[in-house]
Chain A
Amino acid sequence: MAKLILENITKRFGTTTAVDDISLRAKVGEFIALLGPSGCGKTTLLRLIAGFETPDSGRIALGGQSLADPAVGIAIPPEDRNLGMVFQSYALWPHMSVARNIAYPLEVRRIAKQEREARLQAALQVTGLTQMANRKPAELSGGQRQRVALARCLVMEPQAVLFDEPLANLDVHLRATMQSAFRDLHRQTGATMVYVTHDQAEAMALADRIAVMQDGRIRQFAPPEILHDEPANAMVAGFVGQGVVLPVHAAGPCRDGWMDVSLGEHIARVRSGTPRPTHLSLRPDGVHIDHNGTLPAQVTNAVYLGGKFRLTLQLAPNHGGGTILAEQRQRYDIGDTVMLNIQDGWAFEDRTAVAV
C-alpha cells in the first residue's frame, strides 16, 4: 500500500525507444491499467517498475523509497522491491506443490513455520484453493493456476501488485470470473495495482484510472468514463470504445461545454472543451437513424451482432466524406440511404493526428 511515482522514465533497446519520457503517479491503493496496442511499451513499463529492466533515465519510487534512479546509481533488484507480480503464463514452479508455490515468498523471507502455515491457509481460503493445496500446478485448470499465482502474490503482502496481461490465456467465461477475483483482491488488500492489458473492456472494468499508451508514450491518463466520453486525442478516441474520429471545424463558440462543429456543410451540436477543435469522436450510441434526421449517409456494410445491426455508413463528400458507425435494430441493405441525427459527440483539438 504505497504511492507509486514514475518520473521521466526512458528505456531504449538498441535504437528503438520502448518507453519515452513517461511520468505517472498512482495514488495509495489505486488500481491503474496500462492500455495500448502491442508494442506500445506497456509491458516494458511494467517490467521497469518490477525491476526486470533498468531505465536509461528517470526515477521510479514506491512509498517514498527510490527503486530505480540511474542518475544517482540506485537500482534496487526485483527481489528486494516487495512487489507482487502476476504473469501472463502464471509462472507457477512445476516442481513445487500448490501449497509450496504459495508459501515460497514466506520461505524466502524466513518467516517462522507457524506463521507461514497460518498465512498460507488464509491465502488458500481466500482464493478457494484449500482442496488443491497438495496438487502440482500441472494438475490444475487454467483458472485455478491463475488463482495460485494470485495467492502467491497475496501471501507476501506486497506494497503493490503488478499484473502482466494475466487473463490473456483464459477463455472469455473465466475472464469475467477472474476479473471479479482481482476486484475482490483489490478491495480486501487495498494494495496499489498496476495492470497491463491490450483489452480495453478489461481495463475499463477494473481500473480506477487508465493510462492509454502508444509508441512508448502515455496519450491520456484518466478514469475510464473520461477516456470514453472525453478522449484527449484521435488515438485515444479511436482505440477506446468503438468510436470513429472525423475531422471537423468549429462553427461557433464553445459555451458551457457545448459548441457547433461543421462536418462539411452539416452543422452538429456536440460536447467540447476547446474553442478550436480539429476532430470529432463519434460513438455508435451517439448516432441515431431517424426519418427526421438532417445528415444523409449510405450503408456500406451491415453486421448482425445479436439484438442489433452494426451499420457502417459513408458520408457524402460535401459532409466530409467520413465513415461512421451506428447501431440499429432494423435491417438495412447495403446501398440504402439513411438519415442521421448526431445526438452525442466530443470535439477535441489534436494537431498532431494524421488526417483520418
Chain B
Amino acid sequence: MPLVLVPVLALSLLPIGRLLFESISVGDSIGLSHLREVLGRDSTWRALRHSLFTAGFGTVISVILGGTFAFLVAITNIRAKAALVFCLMIPMMIPPQITALAWTQVTGPSSVLLKTIGLAPTLGSPQPLYSAWGIALLLGIQHTSIVFLTLRANLRAIPSDLVEAARGAGARGGRMWLQIVLPLCIPGLVAGTALAFVTALGNFGIPAMLGIPAGYSTLPTLIYQRLAGFGPTVLSEVSVLALLIGLVALLGIVGYRIVLARLSTGLSGQGTRALSLDLGRARPVVELTLWAVITVILVLPLIALTATSLIPAYGLPLTLDNMTWQAWYEALFRQPVTIRAFRNSFLLAGSAALVLMMLCIPLAWLSVRRPTRLTRLADLLADLPYALPGVVLAIACILLFIRIPSTDWSLYGTFWIIFIAYLARFLVVMLRPIQSSFVQIDPAMEEAAQAVGAGPMRRLFQILLPMAAPAAAAGAILVFLTAFNELTVSALLWSSGTQTLGVVIFNLDDSGETVMAAAVAMMVVLVVVALMGLLQLTARRLPSGVVPWQN
C-alpha cells in the first residue's frame, strides 16, 4: 500500500469510527443506554425540529435567490456577470458568525446604522433576527451561492441547439421552458438544494449568534451548550447528538445521490454554444433588480458592520465627529486576545494549507495515474469529514484525542487537535483541484520526460509540479480561506490560548464587546475578499472548476 494513503485513510476514518463506537458504549462495555437516554429527551427532538425548520426554510430562500440569479446570469445577456457572481459569492466565503453579526447591526434597537439615520426602534424593542425566521433568513442568504453555482453549471451545459430544436418542432414560450429547459436543469436544482440543506443543517455560527440569545437551540448549538456544561457522561451524550445530526446529513446526501442518479440526463455541454436569451428592453430593469438584491444582502450588512466598528462606544450613533479607528487599533495592536487569534488563525490555516498540499500532490497523482481499489476508497472517504457537519468532526476529534489510547497524552486543549481536525476537514478542498489538474495534464508529458532520461524526482520537480502548481496554489488559497473562516470545529475544540478569529468574534460579541467584534469581523472580511480577488486574478491559468465561482 502506498504510504501516502495511510494518513488519508486515518484522517477520514478514525474520527468518525471513534464517534460511532462512543455513542454505543458506556464505560467499557458496549450498550445502548446513552442512546436511549439522549433520544428520550424532549430537548433533543426540539433541537432537531429547530434544525430541520431553520435549514429547511433557509434552503427555500437559497433556492429562490440562487435559482433566480443562476437563470439570469447563466442564460441571459445581462452585463457585468463576473462582478455580479463575485459579489454573490462573498456571503458564502465570509464566516457565518460575521454574517450574523453584520445583520444584527442592520436591524434592531442598537443598530448604529439606524441610529445614525434616525430610524432605530426604541430601546428595549426586540431584535427581530433573534428568532427562528431570522436564523432561516441568514442561513438562506449564506448558502445562496451553493444553489447558484450548481444550477448555473447545469444551465451552462445545456446546448442551445436543444432549445433551437424544440422551437423548430413548434414549442414556444412556456411550453419550451417547462418541457425542455426545466427537466434538463432539475439535476442541478436537486443537487444545489440538497447541498444547501446539508450545509445549513451543519451551520453553527448563525444559530449560535442569533439563537442562543433567544433561547432557540438547533442541534449544533445544543451540542455546544452541552459540551460547555461538562459532567462525567457529557462526551457520550454529545456524541449521540453528533451522530444524530450526522445521520440526518447523511440521509440528505445519500438521498440526493439516489435522486440524481435517476435524473441524470447525460448532458455533456461540449462543442456547442450555451443557451443565450436576449432580454431586450427588460435588461436594465433586470440588472438594476439584481444589483439591488446584492446591495441588500451584501453591501448593507457590511456598511452596518463597518459603522459599528467605527464608533467609540456601543450605543452611540456614528457621526463625522466621533468616528474613530480605536477598535481596529485595539484589536490589531493592543488586545492580546485578538492579536493571538490573528496569529492562531493565520498559523492554523497556513500550515493546514501547506501540509495538505504536500499530502495531496502524491495522493492526487496516485488516484489519477495509478488508480486501484484502495485509492478509490481513499478518494471516497476524503469527502466524509467535509460533507458531514463540522460539529460531528469536532466531537469525533475530541473523543479520539482527549486521551490517546495506552498513553497519558491528551491533545485536547492544544493546537494540534484543531490542526488535525482541519487536515481531515479540508483534505478534499485541496485534493479536488490538484486531481482535476492532473486529469488535464497529458500523461505523455511525464512519459516524454521519462523517455529523454529524467528520473522520478526530476520529473516531479521539473515537469509535474510546475504544471500542477497553479491548481495546487489555488487549492492552498481555498483551504486557507475556508480554514481562516472556520468556526464550527474550533468553537468546540478551542481552549485558552488557542482561540481562532472565529471564536474570538463570537466571544467578543457574546460578552458585549460588539464594537471590537465588528472591527475584527471587518478585518476578516477584508482578508477574505483580498484572497478571493487573488484567486479571481489567477483563474484564467487554472484548470476549470478550481475556482468555485468560475466556469
Which of A's residues lie within 8 Å of B, judged by CB? 50-52, 77-85, 87-89, 91-95, 104-105, 108-109, 149, 152, 156, 162
Contact = CB atoms under 8 A, between A and B. Distances in A.
A51 to B, nearest CB: 8
B466 A95 contact: yes
A80 B453 contact: yes
Interface size class, chain B = 10 to 19
A79 B458 CA distance: 11
A87 B455 contact: no
Interface stretch (B164-172, B204-212, B249-257, B443-451): B443-451
Given A91-B442, A91-B444, A93-B467, A77 B451 contact: no
B176 interface: no
Interface of B: 442, 444-445, 447-455, 458, 462-463, 466-467
B453 A82 contact: yes
Contact of B442 (A78, A79, A89): A89
A78 B450 contact: yes
A87 B447 contact: yes
A94 B467 contact: yes
A147 to B, nearest CB: 15
Given A52-B447, A91-B442, A91-B444, A108 B452 contact: yes
Given A79-B451, A83-B451, A156-B452, A108 B458 contact: yes
B370 to A, nearest CB: 13
A108 B448 CA distance: 12
A89 B444 contact: yes
A87 B463 contact: no
A152 B454 CA distance: 13
A109 B454 CA distance: 8
B298 to A, nearest CB: 38
B332 to A, nearest CB: 39
Contact of B450 (A79, A93, A94, A95): A79
B450, B452, B453, B458: residue with the most chain A Cβ atoms closer than 10 Å:
B452
Nearest to A47: B447
A92 B444 CA distance: 9
Contacts of A89: 442, 444
B447 A91 contact: yes
A84 B451 contact: yes
A60 to B, nearest CB: 15
A92 B463 CA distance: 10
Given A91-B444, A94-B467, A95-B467, A108 B451 contact: no
Nearest to A109: B453
Nearest to A149: B448
Given A79-B455, A80-B453, A162-B451, 18 more contacts: A52-B447, A78-B447, A78-B451, A82-B453, A87-B448, A91-B442, A91-B444, A92-B448, A93-B466, A94-B467, A104-B449, A104-B452, A104-B462, A105-B452, A108-B453, A149-B448, A152-B448, A152-B452
Nearest to B448: A91
B467 A85 contact: no
B444, B453, B467: residue with the most chain A Cβ atoms closer than 10 Å:
B453
A108 B454 contact: yes
Contact of B451 (A50, A94, A95): A50
B450 A52 contact: yes
B451 A85 contact: yes
Nearest to A52: B447
Nearest to B450: A78
A166 B396 CA distance: 55
Nearest to B455: A79
Contacts of A109: 453
Contacts of A77: 450
A79 B463 contact: no
B449 to A, nearest CB: 7
Nearest to B466: A95
Contacts of A50: 447, 451
B32 to A, nearest CB: 46
A94 to B, nearest CB: 7
B338 to A, nearest CB: 42
A93 B453 contact: no
B450, B455, B463, B467: residue with the most chain A Cβ atoms closer than 10 Å:
B450
A29 B453 CA distance: 22
Contacts of B445: 91, 93
Contacts of A95: 466-467
Given A93-B467, A95-B466, A87 B444 contact: yes
B451, B458, B463: residue with the most chain A Cβ atoms closer than 10 Å:
B451
Contacts of A94: 467
5 contacts: A78-B450, A81-B451, A87-B444, A105-B453, A108-B452
A290 B418 CA distance: 91
Contacts of B448: 85, 87, 91-93, 149, 152
A331 B172 CA distance: 50
Contacts of B466: 93, 95
A108 B458 CA distance: 8
Contacts of B450: 51-52, 77-79
B447 A79 contact: no
A50, A78, A82, A149: residue with the most chain B Cβ atoms closer than 10 Å:
A78
Contact of B463 (A85, A93, A105, A152): A93
B540 to A, nearest CB: 13
B472 to A, nearest CB: 13
B442, B455, B458, B466: residue with the most chain A Cβ atoms closer than 10 Å:
B442
A96 to B, nearest CB: 8
A94 B441 CA distance: 10
A319 B455 CA distance: 64
B448 to A, nearest CB: 4
A99 to B, nearest CB: 15
A79 B450 CA distance: 5
Nearest to A100: B462
Contacts of B447: 50, 52, 78, 85, 87, 91
A315 B66 CA distance: 69
Contacts of B444: 87-89, 91
Contacts of A162: 451
Contacts of B462: 104
B44 to A, nearest CB: 52
Nearest to B451: A85
Contacts of B458: 108
Contact of B453 (A87, A92, A156): A156
Closest 10 CB pairs of A and B: A105-B452, A91-B448, A91-B444, A85-B451, A87-B444, A78-B450, A95-B466, A108-B453, A79-B453, A108-B454
A111 to B, nearest CB: 11
A79 B467 contact: no
A80 B455 CA distance: 9
A57 to B, nearest CB: 23
B133 to A, nearest CB: 53
